[in-house]
Amino acid sequence: MAKAVNVIESSIRREVVTIPNRKGERMYAVVTSPAWEQQIEKLIIFCYTGVNCKTGPGGSLKWLGDQLSAEGYAVLRFDQSAVGDSQGELTNDLPLHEYFRAIQSGLAATDTIDVVEWAMQTYHPRKIYLLGYCGGCVTAAMAAVEKIEAIAGLICIALPVLYSQLDVQPIREYEARTISRDYVKRLFDGQSWVNLLRGQTDLNLLCTSFSAYGQSLVKKVMHCFLPEKMRFQLHPSFNQHFWRAFQELMRQKKRLLILMADFDDETPDFNAEFKTKVLDRCPDYAQLCTLEYLPKTDHAVLFEESRTNLKKVILVALSTVFE
Amino acid sequence: MEPQADNAHVPHDAASPFMEDCYFFQAIKKPDEFLYGRIYIPSEECSTTGIVIVGPIGYERLRRYREVVSLARDLSHQKYPVLYFDQRGEGESYGDFKDFNVTTRVEDIASAVRELHTHAKINEIVLIGIRLGAVLAVLGAAKHHIKRLVLCDPICNPANYAIDLLRGNMVLQRQYLGDSKNTAELREHLKQGGTISIYGFPMGYSLLEELEQLNIAPSLEKFTGKTALLHFIKPQGTGVKKDVLHWEQLLKTHGSCDTIAIESNFAWTEKKFLTSRLDVLNEEIIRWLKLSMS
């Protein structure tokens, strides 16, 4: 049985490639491209956080990549060192928030740069875009700065602007709001009262959610009374790696498409710490950044309707924002 | 037919004791369809016992992705040629999740077994099945004259697993859309040709139906080979679940079964740690493979 160099599925050519990083580790990637094109003209390189594999949560990145390839774009999805199928090792049993913090500080940036260089040498595409998902947005931004001439634009989905906290994560604003509202609805549901009396209600979750939601509301109110200088100071946990990369991308007039999901804990932080304090106050930055909110979309883009919408938004942007 | 080893395309890193690669190979009976495989072939003293890993499906496959890849590499360090593949509808393999079911997944084992034979001189194939992969391995064992099975944390009751999948969708719906159909409504929706998202994987009716109707007991009883049945317990925990004991009993009808408890905080649900490997599990599998060699 000979190895299949590439396969064709529904007008998409699919190829597994091996990309060595600068440490000599083998990174595995899948490249999808339109079957009708002999030469790769426009290439999108996906950068993900690295928690599972290059197909993304629920296969969302594979789905998106296939859809974009069906519309004429080549897509490269890869596993960075030590995750997915690739070689390399990380400390075992690393707390997830420590891993996220490492990604947000550039852990996967050099691997991504190596992938960009490999793609340039292998395919000589006319345009390369980087698409980051979650922590991969920071990876993409940092890599784009190092290969600034080669990168035509950046797409950021569910961009986390604050560093992952190193201590125990409290319930975050979106989750607290959703849970609190759910409990308020249940005030009018008899079964919920029966559950409460039977001791079947998660009182800890109830109290933590209301407390977290209450705190976020108080913070918003107090924020309005702060002096202007303090109101627009970047949050102490604001991702400085992303901030430096972002400023350089703006200086180089690179365009960014930022897509934030309605049902995502990252979105309130993004709105409060980046949109309000940076984009709304700096017209030069705002001009280069296109911001869209994805309705009825969760952080991992798990639902079919939200994926279809995501694909549409990206395709429109590729032919407008980045042209 | 003498198997011909075809490793011309499997790259070899000078520092590694085995060659490895990821690639596509053809599905049996469906030449236009393909499977994604990860192959690990020892460079020297390659064992004639080949190992095919039949992984979990859907979100469970993603939850413990790297751990299974590490298991494959550890086995190859021990001189076993190993193929870990994505079933059709999973991962990088052909097709969508909704279009494949238990039957097609068992067929894919045949493709993987054939594929592994092309890479090494193999006299015996061992199937390592993880979660639903363990059920698939049991179903596939008879077709491939399998004499040894390693079953890791098997889904002992596929019908209950199917209900859990439906419930998973309900939790997701409530969490994000504030709305949730009940199981009867979900089932009807599936019967009408719809799909439901199981943590992002669109499940169709075919998989649900096959899981609910599956009776694994006859296959367990008929298996005449040796089995390692590995199950997880919390540290300082004791006792074996009833389902696991039932499987053990059935496997001992015409074969032999070693039930091995793996002490670990491991969970298939929430992930709080980035675990690259389950050393305790890997070591037990390797130990059992050596001891059970006839």
The one-letter amino acid at A267: T
Q: Radius of gyration of chain B from Cα atoms?
A: 19
> In terms of DSSP bridges, do strands A26-34 and A74-78 run parallel, antiparallel, or are they unpaired?
antiparallel
Q: How far apart are CA A27 and CA A10, in angstroms?
A: 26
- Residue A62, pLDDT > 60, answer yes
Q: B40: which 2 tokens? A: 């690990």
Could you write out the DSSP letters of every residue in B109-159? HHHHHHHHHTTS--SEEEEEEETHHHHHHHHHHGGGT--EEEEES--S-HH
Q: Which phi and psi (to 5°) does residue B274 adopt?
A: -90, 100
> Chain B contacts of A303, Cβ < 8 Å?
176-177, 197
Pick the residue with more confidence: A51 or B203?
A: B203
In this prediction the pTM is: 0.91
Least Cα separation, residue B173 to chain A (angstroms): 9
Q: Could you give the CA distance from residue A152 to residue B66 in angstroms, rounded to a whole number?
A: 33
Mean pLDDT, to the nearest integer, of B111-116? 97
Q: Show residues of chain B in contact with A265, CB under 8 Å.
A: none
Check pLDDT > 50 for residue B5: no
Closest by CA position to B72, among listed B132, B4, B130: B130
In the predicted structure, residue B7 carries a pLDDT above the cut 70: no
pLDDT score, position A235: 86
Q: Is B201 helix (H, G, I), strand (E, B) or coil?
A: strand
Task: Confirm if B126 and B51 have CB atoms less than 8 A apart.
Answer: yes
CB contact under 8 A, A30 and B201: no
Residues of A in contact with B6 (CB under 8 A): 1-2
Q: What is the pLDDT of residues B130-168, one digit of tens each?
A: 999 999 999 999 888 999 999 999 999 999 999 999 998
Q: What residues of A are in contact with residue B114 (Cβ under 8 Å)? A: 1
- Cβ distance of B277 and A57 shorter than 8 Å: no
With CA atoms as reference, the chain A residue closest to B95 would be A9
**R_g (Cα) of chain A, nearest Å:** 21
pLDDT for the residue numbered B9: 57
Residue with tokens 């599956």: B214
Rounded to whole angstroms, the Cα distance separating B92 from B130 reads: 18
Q: Which two tokens stand for residue B100?
A: 């494949």
B:9-68 residues touching chain A, CB 8 A cutoff: 9, 11, 13, 20-26, 34, 36, 38, 59, 62-63, 65-66
- Is the ipTM higher than 0.90? The answer is yes
Q: Tokens 């596929």 sit at which residue? A: B158
Q: Give yes or no for a contact between B199 and B90, defined as CB atoms under 8 angstroms apart.
A: no
B37 φ, ψ (degrees, to nearest 5)? -125, 155
Query: Could you give the CA distance from residue B278 to residue A93 in angstroms, rounded to a whole number?
Result: 9
CB–CB of A249/A154 below 8 Å? yes
Mean pLDDT across the stretch B38-66? 95
Euclidean distance between CA atoms B46 and B117, whole angstroms: 13
Q: Which DSSP helix (H) or strand (E) runs through A213?
A: helix A203-224
B6 interfacial to chain A (CB closer than 8 Å):
yes
Backbone dihedral region for residue A12 (phi beyond 0: left; psi -120 to 50: alpha; all else: beta): beta
Give the separation between CA A37 and CA B172, rounded to whole angstroms.
39
Residues of A in contact with B276 (CB under 8 A): 82, 89-90, 92
Structure confidence at residue B1 (pLDDT):
31
In angstroms, the CA A267 to CA A258 distance is 11
pLDDT band at A208 (very low <50, low <70, confident <90, very high): confident
- Continuous H helices in A105-189: 109-123, 135-146, 173-186
